[in-house]
Amino acid sequence: MRVEISEERCVSAGQCAAVAPGVFDQRDEDGVVVLMDADPSDEHWDPVRQAAASCPAVAIAFEE
C-alpha cells in the first residue's frame, strides 16, 4: 500500500491521526496532517482505509 496526502485540502479535523496514529499525525501549529509512513505495513491497511473514508476533506489517497 502506498499512501499520499494533500496538505492543501486538509481541514485539520484529526480523524486520520485518531484512526491510524502510526501512519498519520498533525502539525502542532495548525493541525494539518503529517504523513508518518507512506508505505505502511499490512496491519495498518484497515486503519488507513478507515482514515481515508472518514476524512471530511478527502485529503488522503492510497494505492494497494
Domain-by-domain residue ranges, the chain?
2-63
Cβ atoms within 10 Å, residue 2: 10
What pLDDT is recorded for position 64? Answer: 87
State which H helix or E strand residue 63 sits in. Answer: strand 60-63
pLDDT in tens, the chain (64 residues): 999 999 999 999 999 999 999 999 999 999 999 999 999 999 999 999 999 999 999 999 999 8
Domain 2-63: state its class.
alpha beta
